[in-house]
Structure 1
Amino acid sequence: MKYTMIGAGAMGYRYGVLLQEKTGAQVEYIDTWQPNIDAVRANGGVYVSRDHADRHLVPIDIYTPEEYEGDPDVWMVFMKQMQLEEMLKRCAHLFKDHQVVFSAMNGWGHFEKINQYFPEDHIYGGTALVATVLNGPGDVDFMGKAGAGSMEMCAMTEEITDVEKALAADFEKAGFNPTVTQNFHGTCLAKIIFNSVANTICTMYQIRMGQFISYPGALKMAGQLIDEAYDACERAGYQMTRSRQAEVKAIEISSRETNPLHYPSMYQDLTAGRPTEVDYINGYIARLGREHDYVCRTHEFLVEGVHLAELAFKIHQEDARH
């Protein structure tokens, strides 16, 4: 199948490069960050490392939405939640009836936006428990050993299709270790809940995932956040794909064994001076709870905590300049 990545950032590069290298699929990229586009075109591709080593150039083709004339079988969407609406508007003239879309973005809110351009039976969602860092324009670092991490995927209609089977086969070849489920909300919510712990706490305290899990109270903190999130999801009528204990274990394994040196994406946004996605992660859980007469007090506190961390980082940057 032919793939086009909407968003040439950390995750867009990881999925695109590995699909290209491991399956032989044709992969193209659409982006709007001009320094990224300029770097890729000047270098003839994107520089790829793994765990800060073996940096090499992978040839790719990158376009703005207005330049692109391709017709992929699958659109793969990896954007920040705050940027997605505008990007989809700019790409709308490219969307065709035979195409499907897959997204494993962080947070919640993207499927409603995608659904404005694609019917439900053309939308596939998922989660990606892999760590990747965008070092700069045209320069990406895959964290963890090859084949480390995992993902889940599900059709929005929850019906397993031939297209989904083909997607899963390509993801398997690319080393993403996919599991196909038939529980759309439960599948996607699992990653939101995962990120509501590791991403958020590591960002507030500006620490790596391994440093977080080495704190004696880390699992207690994780359990408290997970219990609140699961309570909210259950009150909303959503059936989760794994138990609360399994969710805690996933955070522990990822933090202690798979990605101990990783700074999560929310931290990367904070230190780059970009808005974080906390409102779409902990904020989404908090809103879901409120909508069903349940108050997620810890999640609500962490939303404010991350926004305070954003402000504090800007203050420190200003102080350093004076």
Structure 2
Amino acid sequence: MKIIIAGAGAMGSRFGLMLHQAKNDVILIDGWQEHIDTIKEYGLQANFNGEEVTEMIPIYHQSDISSVEFSADLVILFTKAMQLDGMMQSIKNMVGEKTKVLCLLNGIGHEDVIKKYVPLSNILLGNTMWTAGLEGPGKAKLFGNGSIDLQNLGNEGKESADEVIAVLNDAKLNAKYSDNILSSIYKKACVNGTMNGLCTILDSNMADFGETDVADVIVESIVSEFAQVAEKENATLDIDAVLAQIKSCYNRETIGLHHPSMYQDLMINNRLTEIDFINGAIVRKGEVYGIETPYCSFLTQLVHAKEQIMKAK
């Protein structure tokens, strides 16, 4: 299968590497020039479950692909949410009538952008439990196992996704079809919608926040807003299970000392965040459904204020 990995950071590198090793025709597209130059010269290097591997995979800068001749059967999206529209615009000449687009971004509402470029019947919305990291340009660290749940947004259902699932599973990416992917996405979004923004604003790891006297009431209020919006979209959330998953993040013996990705983007790398596609998405959807979302609204405003104070780019 001819596959575009749109966004070749940590997760894009993992998927690109594993699909390339499974003998698919893979190209990587990214916007980080040093990362691109390193892969072009030395190949994509990875510590893959303790084994050092290198694969020569074609990679292009997003701004340089207009002349690249590649007709994709599948596009897998791993861009930052705010870069999604620009990426879809850049690759539109590589996307044909039968091209499937699998979106594995964090956050909510990405299908509203993608459907401007491909019909709903070609969109696969997914949620992945794979993890990955970058140790530097062109160098990925890939440990552990994972899985993918995905759903076709058109009327064709599972039949339309079977070929993509087979290709992913041939690459040992452990994909399966879901009849209600939005429930999985909203559950994951609740974790991101609490830990990411709160730890960023409070300049805190997850354990330190979780040990405060007000952590529970803040988290429960945010999750309540997510749940009310999810219900309007026929996505069922087990609130007790969601809260238990969030509170498990406080454990210092496991991941409690970790700073979430939004913290790393803004506080460490001075990059703009994805808050508009997590809590901000709940605010926008709340306005449509007539649901008040004061906690998500305030947290979104605070993060934007912090971005402006830090002059993030």
TM-score of the two chains, using structure 1 as the length reference: 0.81
Match of 1:318 in 2: none
1:251 is matched with which residue: 246, 249, 257? 246
Q: Distance in 2 between matches of 1:215 and 1:180?
A: 39
Alignment root-mean-square deviation, CA: 3.1
Match of 2:57 in 1: 60
Q: What is the CA-CA distance between 1:54 and the residue it aligns to?
A: 5.7
Map 1:124-143 → 2, pairs under 5 A: 124-142=124-142
Map 1:71-82 → 2, pairs under 5 A: 71-82=71-82
Question: Contact 2:130–2:145 (CA<8 Å) still a contact in 1?
Answer: no
Q: Which moved more, 1:128-137 or 1:118-127?
A: 128-137
Q: Distance in 1 between matches of 2:26 and 2:255?
A: 27
Q: What is the CA-CA distance between 1:125 and the residue it aligns to?
A: 0.6
1:28-60 CA-to-partner distances (Å, cap 9, x unmatched) read 2122332221121122x2232469x76653332
Q: 1:216 to 1:68 in 2, by over 3 A?
A: farther
Q: What is the CA-CA distance between 1:9 and the residue it aligns to?
A: 1.7
Match of 1:48 in 2: 46
1:267 is matched with which residue: 263, 266, 270? 263
Map 1:97-246 → 2, pairs under 5 A: 97-142=97-142, 145-148=143-146, 150-157=147-154, 159-172=156-169, 174=171, 176-183=173-180, 185-209=182-206, 212=209, 218=215, 220-234=217-231, 237-246=232-241
Question: Contact 2:121–2:154 (CA<8 Å) still a contact in 1?
Answer: yes
Q: 1:61 to 1:207 in 2, by over 3 A?
A: farther
Match of 1:306 in 2: 303
The secondary structure found in structure 2 opposite 1:248 is helix
Question: Contact 1:233–1:289 (CA<8 Å) still a contact in 2?
Answer: no
The secondary structure found in structure 2 opposite 1:28 is strand
Question: Contact 2:230–2:237 (CA<8 Å) still a contact in 1?
Answer: no
Q: Distance in 2 between matches of 1:215 and 1:48?
A: 39
Q: What is the CA-CA distance between 1:253 and the residue it aligns to?
A: 4.9
Q: What is the CA-CA distance between 1:312 and the residue it aligns to?
A: 4.8
Map 1:9-48 → 2, pairs under 5 A: 9-21=9-21, 23-43=22-42, 45-48=43-46
Q: What is the CA-CA distance between 1:286 and the residue it aligns to?
A: 1.5
- Percent sequence identity over aligned pairs: 29
The secondary structure found in structure 2 opposite 1:274 is coil
Q: What is the CA-CA distance between 1:203 and the residue it aligns to?
A: 2.4
Question: Contact 2:123–2:153 (CA<8 Å) still a contact in 1?
Answer: yes
- May I ask how many residue pairs the two structures share in their alignment? 307
Q: Which moved more, 1:161-170 or 1:57-66?
A: 161-170
Question: Contact 1:233–1:288 (CA<8 Å) still a contact in 2?
Answer: no
Q: What is the CA-CA distance between 1:69 and the residue it aligns to?
A: 1.8
- Structure 1 unaligned blocks of 5 or more: 316-322
Q: What is the CA-CA distance between 1:159 and the residue it aligns to?
A: 4.1
Q: What is the CA-CA distance between 1:66 and the residue it aligns to?
A: 2.3
Q: 1:200 to 1:174 in 2, by over 3 A?
A: farther
- Structure 2 unaligned blocks of 5 or more: none
The secondary structure found in structure 1 opposite 2:72 is coil
Q: 1:266 to 1:252 in 2, by over 3 A?
A: same
1:282-303 CA-to-partner distances (Å, cap 9, x unmatched) read 0111221222222211111211
TM-score of the two chains, using structure 2 as the length reference: 0.83
Question: Contact 1:155–1:184 (CA<8 Å) still a contact in 2?
Answer: no
The secondary structure found in structure 1 opposite 2:229 is helix
Question: Contact 2:72–2:95 (CA<8 Å) still a contact in 1?
Answer: no
What residue identity is the alignment partner of 1:266? Answer: M
